[in-house]
Structure formats: structure tokens, C-alpha cells
């Protein structure tokens, strides 16, 4: 089976660091290192964690009016995105569901997109339906994420010429004659950076960062628990083709200019379903704090009462939150259930109470 899996430019380094490798979205990826998922999670929250996210799809778009053309697929304000900035967006389906979520950066003469690994081929084919747009998948670069309160200081030592950046800024910085594409963003709720690196320089950059006392390698296991605590949705779990942006609690990613009455309202797949539902959804992604210490995992049915009745939802993401000190979960539930209300997750034939709680479960520390 593993012979069919792709490997990132950092594969040999992962093995040297003692990583446990697992199949993930068609790639062989590190799920944890000897520190363990709990230790890696807490290290990222207190110092700095280095993640290999080279499996994500990097795609360059070029062409006249490329921002306006991309808006026919994505309900974000891309025309108004300033050079040197990036924002979050969604590919939507004609039925109003979510095809994928992505990051979109304005690099001046082109747009740089980062899409999910498992959706990359589909997304590239989708982008190639745009008239007059050149779609260039980036196949010769790695992608690292440096996250945590120590990330800024560590990267400043590696790249002393890097300009000041705030959350969602992007820039290019030279390192040993190679261009690094940097964004101040990530998927942990912490301040941090994502760094696109020529493949043949990836191990050099990673080793230079890992040589710093505050930086440790972090695997997919802690990446998942970190994003869950931060209340960040994962495609294929908390949203998919059957879930609308409003139901995924991602209506904030559709700005006024693209909404009904806006200057560039609609014009994207599913706009007739998505726009009327904004602010009116009867179900949406909610946070859950299960009682006790046992994690409530994805797929567990949720009920309004301790006995009887039909399910009112299903856990879409769940696990133990090391920083929170207890289990956390997310599910799409009726919006009229107030925060603090109790629902019941069914585990192995028993129903365990869980309180509807605000998200994120931890304080986000983005550099605004």
C-alpha cells in the first residue's frame, strides 16, 4: 500500500527525527514524534512547533482580471484583496455546499492559492474551468508551518531581513539565495507563519529552525487537536458538499460586497441557496464540552434528551483538548439551542452529557 503514497521533500528528515508515519490524503505523513501528541500540542501552545504541510496543494493563477474571474467560483472579496495580503475562501457547489476551503494570496502579478491535499486534483480541475486564467500547480516546493508564541522570534533569527508582518500578510524573503514565500497564518489558533520553500532547500530550512531551542517537530495528531481547540473546521469533517457555508458557521467569509445588495453580489455556484440562508440558518456548527474526561469522537450521534428521541446532530470533530484539560467537540446543531444547553452524545450504548459552548475553546493569539 505504501508504495502508492507520495512523500514530501522532508520525508527523510521525519524518519531521522523518529516520526511515526501514516497514510494521509494520499501522502505518507508524520502523525507524531517521540515527544507524543500531548507533548507536541502543549509545546506548540507554549513555544514553537514546526509542521510539514507540504501535502497541501499550492497553485498559482495568472491572467487578466484573475481576481474577478476567481470570484465566479469563490464567494470572497478577491477583487478588493490588497497586494501582500491573503484571505480565507470557499469553493462552493451549485447546490450550496462546500467543495473545499482555501487560502488566497495576492502576490501582485498573480494569485497564490493553498488548497487541501485530498481536494487538490479536484480543485485544480475546477480552476481550469475559468476562461482566460492560467493555472499552475506548484510541484517543486515544500510548505512548512511554524506556529506558537515563539514562532516570531525563531523566524526572525533565521530571516533577519524579513519585514514586519501582521496576521494574513504575505511576503517573499531571500534565504541563501532562494525565495521563501511567507504568510503570517496557520491552523492552530496561535500566531505563526506558513513558509513555502524550494523543495531542495526544505530540509536546510527545517533543520535550521529545529536547531533552535524553542522549536520542535509536530505531527498531524497535534495539528488536529490544536485546530479543534481553536474552533477551526476541517474539510471533509465539519463541512463538505452537503454542508452550506452558514451551516459550517463560515458565513463571515462571505463579505457584504458579495452578499445580496452588494456591489458584486452572487455570481458564484450555489448563490441562490447560500445567500438567502446567511443569518437565517436553522442549524450551524457549534462547540461542545462533554462532561468527564472521555473524548467524544467524530460520528457519535447527539440527542436532545438522556433517553429516547431521534438524533439532532452528529459529532463532526472531537477529541481531548490538552490545553483545555478535557474533551472538546464540534457538531452541526439547531441554532435555537442556547449556549450552556445540554445535549447527549451516544457512546457504546450510553448517553453522555455535553454542554454547548462558545468557540474557540482557547484564546486565539493572531498578530492583528
255-264: Cβ within 8 A, 24+ apart: 255/76, 255/77, 257/77, 257/80, 258/71, 258/75, 258/76, 258/77, 264/71, 264/77, 264/79
Q: What is the mean pLDDT of residues 150-177?
A: 97
CA distances from residue 154 to 150, 177, 248 in whole angstroms, order as listed:
6, 20, 34
Q: What is the mean pLDDT of residues 269-298?
A: 97
Q: What is the mean pLDDT of residues 204-223?
A: 98
Domain spanning 2-54+139-229: CATH 3.30.2130.10: no
Which position has the grid cell 486564467? Answer: 133
Q: What is the mean pLDDT of residues 332-357?
A: 96
pLDDT score, position 3 = 60
The full set of domain ranges for the chain reads 2-54+139-229, 282-361
pLDDT score, position 313 = 97
Residue 356 has pLDDT above 90, yes or no: yes
Confidence of residue 2 (pLDDT cuts 50, 70, 90): very low
Residue 184 has pLDDT above 50, yes or no: yes
Domains 2-54+139-229 and 282-361 share a fold: no
Q: What is the mean pLDDT of residues 156-167?
A: 96
Confidence of residue 1 (pLDDT cuts 50, 70, 90): very low
pLDDT tens for residues 261-270?
Answer: 999 999 999 9
Query: What rounded mean pLDDT belongs to the chain?
Result: 97
pLDDT tens for residues 308-332?
Answer: 999 999 999 999 999 999 999 999 9
pLDDT score, position 85 = 98
pLDDT tens for residues 88-143?
Answer: 999 999 999 999 999 999 999 999 999 999 999 999 999 999 999 999 999 999 99
User: What is 282-361's CATH number?
Assistant: 2.40.30.110
Residue 48 has pLDDT above 50, yes or no: yes
- Beta carbons within 10 angstroms of residue 307's beta carbon: 7
Are the C-beta atoms of residues 95 and 270 closer than 8 Å to each other?
A: yes
Amino acid at each position: 500500500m505504501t508504495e502508492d503514497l507520495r512523500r514530501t521533500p522532508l520525508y527523510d528528515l521525519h524518519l531521522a527525527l523518529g516520526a511515526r508515519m501514516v497514510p494521509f490524503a494520499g501522502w505518507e505523513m508524520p502523525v507524531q514524534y517521540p515527544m507524543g501528541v500531548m507533548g507536541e500540542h502543549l509545546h506548540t501552545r507554549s513555544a514553537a512547533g514546526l509542521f510539514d504541510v507540504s501535502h497541501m496543494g499550492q497553485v498559482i493563477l495568472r491572467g487578466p482580471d484573475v481576481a474577478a474571474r476567481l470570484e465566479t467560483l469563490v464567494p470572497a472579496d478577491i477583487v478588493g484583496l490588497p497586494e501582500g495580503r491573503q484571505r480565507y475562501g470557499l469553493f462552493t457547489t451549485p447546490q450550496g455546499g462546500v467543495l473545499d476551503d482555501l487560502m488566497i494570496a495576492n502576490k501582485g502579478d498573480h494569485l497564490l492559492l493553498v488548497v487541501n491535499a485530498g481536494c487538490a486534483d479536484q480543485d485544480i480541475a475546477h480552476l481550469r474551468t475559468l476562461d482566460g486564467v492560467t493555472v499552475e500547480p506548484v510541484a517543486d516546493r515544500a510548505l512548512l508551518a511554524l506556529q506558537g508564541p515563539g514562532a516570531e522570534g525563531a523566524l526572525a533569527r533565521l530571516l533577519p531581513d524579513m519585514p514586519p508582518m501582521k496576521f494574513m500578510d504575505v511576503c517573499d524573503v531571500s534565504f541563501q539565495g532562494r525565495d521563501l514565500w511567507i504568510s503570517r497564518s496557520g491552523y492552530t489558533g496561535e500566531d505563526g507563519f506558513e513558509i513555502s520553500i524550494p523543495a531542495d532547500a526544505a530540509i536546510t530550512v527545517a533543520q535550521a529552525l529545529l536547531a533552535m531551542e524553542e522549536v520542535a517537530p509536530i505531527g498531524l495528531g497535534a495539528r488536529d487537536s490544536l485546530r479543534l481547540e481553536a474552533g477551526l473546521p476541517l474539510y471533509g469533517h465539519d463541512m463538505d458538499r452537503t454542508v452550506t457555508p452558514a451551516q459550517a458557521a463560515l458565513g463571515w467569509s462571505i463579505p457584504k460586497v458579495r452578499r445580496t445588495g452588494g456591489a458584486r453580489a452572487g455570481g458564484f455556484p450555489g448563490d441562490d441557496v447560500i445567500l438567502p440562508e446567511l443569518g437565517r440558518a436553522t442549524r450551524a456548527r457549534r462547540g461542545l464540552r462533554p462532561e468527564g474526561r472521555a473524548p467524544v469522537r467524530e460520528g457519535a450521534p447527539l440527542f436532545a434528551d438522556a433517553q429516547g428521541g431521534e438524533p439532532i446532530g452528529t459529532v463532526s470533530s472531537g477529541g481531548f483538548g490538552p490545553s483545555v484539560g478535557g474533551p472538546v467537540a464540534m457538531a452541526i446543531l439547531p441554532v435555537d439551542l442556547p449556549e450552556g444547553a445540554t445535549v447527549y452524545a451516544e457512546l457504546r450504548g450510553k448517553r453522555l452529557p455535553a454542554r454547548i459552548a462558545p468557540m474557540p475553546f482557547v484564546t486565539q493569539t493572531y498578530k492583528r
